[in-house]
Amino acid sequence: MFDRDIWQEIFNTLKKNKLRTFLTGFSVGWAIFILVMLLASVNGMQNGFVGQFNDDATNTIFVRPGTTAKAYAGFEAGRRVQLKNEDLDYIAKSFPKDVEYISARYYANATARYKSETGSYPVQAVHPDHQIIEKTLVIDGRYFNEADVINKAKVAVIGRKVAEDLFKDEDPLGKFVEMNNLPFKVIGIFTDEGDDNAERRVYAPITTYQRIYGNTNNINVIALTYNPTYDLSKALAFSGRLEELMKRRHKISPEDQSGLFVWNYAEAFDDISSFTAVLKAIGIGVGFLILIAGIVGIGNIMVFTIKERTKEIGVRKALGARPRQIINLVLLESIFITALSGFIGLMFAWTVLSLVGPAIETPAFSNPSVSGGTVVTATIILIIAGVLAGLIPAIKASSVKPIVALRDK
């Protein structure tokens, strides 16, 4: 295989037929380029989908109230379900081995002011566990604690963008910012792995906002994380039990799909995985079809090449060349053309991804790339493709009879 004379002869043959060599390899190189770009695009979409959930723990469930669509337990349809503080304790006590962290959410909007700077920001009034559920990273100061919740303290943890908007170059910690004309002490600054909008948010103790809005114990959403060791089936089974419990507690029909919504991130990730798996399969299928077309093209050109070199092959056999040597010669030429053109297509795809990838990134399309495993797989495919493309022409060449070949004109 590493015979210097054979390789020199292969290179000479390729040099003599540059156009034919280019056309032979172009189809394979193009197929590999398309295959890599398709797989990179699928990976980019998958990364984008997953990235949308980066600012929450992956083992998260959200419970949201709705409006009943069916009459049940003496209640008419169209009843608005309202979650309460007691629901939080009820869930935690009902599933002590399942629930890891739990927090309520109470949504509000606030016009915030510090000196002459003002801005309008969404407020999430929550419990301390929410920091872990939301994966909130406090970069300065602290998050509020249970004592703040119990005391209904007017403290706030503000996003990095809020700090930049209101305080400019000042240190916000320990200073008071007015939110809807009520003073809140800034005790922390957070950053978020989501987009900038996530950092234009304010967190405050839920009891504080419930007192501000009439000493209510209403909540908008319950967010919780469950045992992180649960696989998909256990995670979905738990969310099913949770939904059944809450529907029973709030007198909602088990068949009512509108009265209460229990959303599990595990289900979303499973749907994303299934969707991207289908896209990847389609990409691989299209790439392979183009590659097969390239292999057929190389095979046809190699057959034509063998026809051109019939007399040369006859001379070789007359001088004692064995069929295996003829097969090796043709196969090596086919593998070399396929591997080289495929490698060029692969490098071209990598170059395009490196240059264009960062420019086209969006929250829904992130880091389009291919893994090292894909590169290894593509290399193996190229070698197999080269063998397949040259096998039939090689066998045909090895069967040429010297006397017939020497008569060929």
Q: Where are the domains of the chain?
A: 4-52+270-407, 107-216
What gap in Å lies between CA 359 and CA 58, rounded to an integer?
28
What gap in Å lies between CA 324 and CA 282, rounded to an integer?
39
User: Could you tell me the CA-to-CA distances from 310 to 10, 339, 402 in Å, in that order?
Assistant: 16, 25, 9
Cβ partners under 8 Å of residue 131, min gap 6 = 138, 143
Nearest to 81 by CA among 68, 71, 91, 63: 68
Phi/psi at 393 (nearest 5 deg)?
-60, -35
What gap in Å lies between CA 82 and CA 216, rounded to an integer?
12
Task: Name the pTM for this structure.
Answer: 0.66
Strands 60-65 and 137-141: unpaired
Strands 83-84 and 202-205: unpaired
Nearest to 150 by CA among 85, 92, 225: 85
Q: Residue 404, exposed/middle/buried by CB under 10 A (0-12, 13-18, 19+)? A: exposed
What gap in Å lies between CA 295 and CA 31, rounded to an integer?
10
Nearest to 121 by CA among 149, 85, 157, 153: 157
List per-residue pLDDT tens for the chain, 409 residues long.
556 666 776 677 667 767 777 777 787 788 788 878 888 887 787 777 666 555 556 789 999 999 999 999 999 999 999 999 999 999 999 999 999 999 999 999 999 999 999 999 999 999 999 999 988 999 999 999 999 999 999 999 999 999 999 999 899 999 999 999 999 999 999 998 766 788 999 999 999 999 988 878 999 999 999 998 988 889 999 999 999 999 999 999 999 999 999 999 888 777 777 777 787 788 777 777 776 777 777 677 767 766 666 666 666 666 666 767 767 777 777 778 777 887 888 888 888 888 887 777 766 667 777 776 766 676 677 677 667 766 776 676 666 666 655 555 5
**What residue type is assigned to position 146 of the chain?**
E
Q: Which two tokens stand for residue 379?
A: 């290399």
121 and 160 in contact (C-beta within 8 Å)? no
Report the half-sphere exposure of 151 (CA within 13 A, side-chain side).
8
